[in-house]
Amino acid sequence: MSPSLRKAVAAAIGGGAVAIASVLITGPSGDDGLEGVSYIPYEDIVGVWTVCHGHTGKDIIPGKTYTKAECKALLNKDLATVARQINP
């Protein structure tokens, strides 16, 4: 397989994986996927602040109630990070 074809196949597989992950996480309506959604940040069992569809990081504001749009933006940001790792 030529390097350019290999790269194209890898990109297609990576893009498909991210799309499938997005649907599994959020579900068809955006709120009923496997991961669930929490609009209010919480500390998980090991003390990591988590919000929305499992987003973690220093950008979480404890006590804030996130909107559906903010959660979708955080999910898109997280999935874009994963996509870049799959297909650099």
Contact at 8 Å (CB) between 41 and 64?
A: yes
Q: How far is 62 from 10, CA to CA, in rounded Å? A: 38
Residue 49's alpha-carbon distances to 30, 32, 43, 71, 81, in angstroms, are 21, 21, 4, 14, 19
Catalytic residue numbers, as ranges: 35, 44
Look-up of token digits 């991210």: 18
